[in-house]
Structure 1
Amino acid sequence: MTEVILLARVVLMAVLVLSATAKLLDRPGTLGAVVAFGVPARLVPAVAAGLPAFELGGAALLLGPGTVGRTGSMLVGLLLLVLTAAVVRTLRAGTSVDCHCFGQLGAGPAGWGTVARNALLVVLAVLGAAQLSSAPAALADLGAGVLAGLVLVLVVAAAVAVAVRGDGRAPLPTASPTEVPMVTLPDLDGVEVSLADVVADGLPALVVFTRPGCGGCGELLPELERWQNDEGPVHVVVVGSGSLADNRAEAAANPGLRVLLQQAGWVTDRFAIAFNPGAVLVGADGAVLGEPVYGPDAVRENYAVVRDGLLEQGHTARRAVEAHR
């Protein structure tokens, strides 16, 4: 029985180290997943940072002696149950959310397969919570081969996670470009629109980035359609990524919505957008104001800033939003 308990903890530790390392190396993806699962905007940074920290802490506890190891297994099991409940909630709501459970290694919609995998890990956590007098001593008793195998698993897990760094994902932005890029994009009917021309009439613009399958994006689409058709003091430009067919299917329920389709994420990269939905404010002179914002609530706040005339030339979008609050 000692071997079974120890093996359960070793597997859990390897999974946790891999998951935490991949999340830390794919912070934009982790932030996007946290937003997509419906975490309030003010808690997103803390949750995105806390998840890998909790996983690494749990991994460290798992090989502790006596109560320490058992506590680590129980905490890991509790985390898995919470995450599984979040996945089930989105599935029952019919929402497709990118899991990013293992950073770019886990990129893709969370489904019932995710639930099944987590259930298996919960079983391992239950096994790991059984009494084990001393995990280090048990490892020593099992011999150098097991120790070498454990080290190999952890090294491979870390190496695989490091490999996802070169996937081309935009880094978390620290600043915005100063001017709208001179680019022309086709809408879903093939009509080309110049982003620079959008603000040529002296009105500010809110440029919103979306993609099919993004839960927060789908939530915003009806509002984006309404904003585009309002005769207010702001242009609303929606830039979509992904295939033409997927964007058409996503926009079908909002026939008045105009989406400009980008290829290979060029415009997303130019605006330093880390994940969707993201948005930037563009002043009447074509200058990008402030840093990108993320999530439905932040996009709504930025729209309210320009709609209510609170955006003044020379002020960043962030200052305007804070003043509005």
Structure 2
Amino acid sequence: FGQIHSEPVGRSSIIRNVGFLILALFLAVQGSDFQGAELADTSAGMVQAILVLLIALLAATAIFLLLRILENQTAIVRRLDVIEVLANDGVVVDRQEAGSPEDALPIGAPFPDFELSDTKGVNVRFDHLLSRGKGMLFLFVSPDCGPCRELAPSVAQWREELADKLSVIVVSRGAVADNIEKFGNAAATYLLVQKKRELADDVMAKWTPTAIYVDADGDIASHPAVGDEAIRALVTDISGADLDKEFVFFANSNGHRKPLKIGEKVPEFALEALGEGQLTDEHLTEKRTMIISWSLSCSHCRAMVDEIREWETTRAPSDPEVLILSGSKREDHKDIELETPIFLDPSHTVAATLGLRGTPSAVLIDEGTIITEAGIGSRNIWSLIGRKK
């Protein structure tokens, strides 16, 4: 139907050709004597017309179902491509150790500092990128990742279209020549090369391709977008958002996560201290504070006791205040000797209002406002204040 075309056959072409086929079938069934308005003038003609319409309806339904099957097959292929775990020096990593694609540092945590070389051998530090005064989309790729290559043409397009809003930083590994061959000069122009996977491991980007948005303050402002479809969706969301507003972030709910409380005010509460005094919501309006929720029946919480002691002796002047809300009874704390204040939160009632629904978990509060997602587990808790564990 028409001129030679180099594009793959799309949905519109299939629907158009099916339409022509139905019309041709309609005329062929009628024969040479029934090409005019007499089609439905007799009962026999009416029956034929109804039969033709039913055939056309069935054909259209079949085509629609075939298109849906093709879409689902494409989506399955892309998801299988995502399950192409990164290689370490050519040795494939055990998929059981790769973790879930949804594993990530919490939104609101500072992006880790780093220093990596670009394709010209120039060292680039995170503070160099941060000095540009705009957000950054970190795209983690690998030269042996099939889906990453499909994104290469889009990277140059995003850099041009979103230049006023953000910088697109491609992070790969391996030889520079392999990356340029894989992604082309356009995509490799601003490409940073890891020695192994040091930055990817720091931000839990264990799968490729993965994208993470970091705001102009240097804080993580999105859950990981894993796979080309999710990355394109994230870019679309970012392009339509006002990034100058306060508390802009991009969360992947996937029907599992509860809505984040970032930007919400701390509700009124009062808790008794393990020692003397009490903690109220007004205290949290005075200084930046990290609230940790734990229970001494939780082995992971008990394991954090030594970590907190270490933090007490090495804390930096810029570190926030740290307070602990404990769901355990007063007498359970006899062997816990910490300088960090502990407050009794039976049944974790107050913790839940702050978005803390597991132990150990923590959230950062500034001037009475929740400014981070809940960090669950020791690593993510300390990441809220820029510490590695």
Q: TM-score if structure 2 supplies the norm length?
A: 0.39
- Tell which structure's C-alpha radius of gyration is larger: 2
Taking CA–CA contacts closer than 8 Å with sequence separation of 6 or more, which of the two structures ends up with the larger relative contact order? 1
Q: Which has the higher strand share?
A: 2
Q: TM-score if structure 1 supplies the norm length?
A: 0.46
Q: Which has the higher helix share?
A: 1
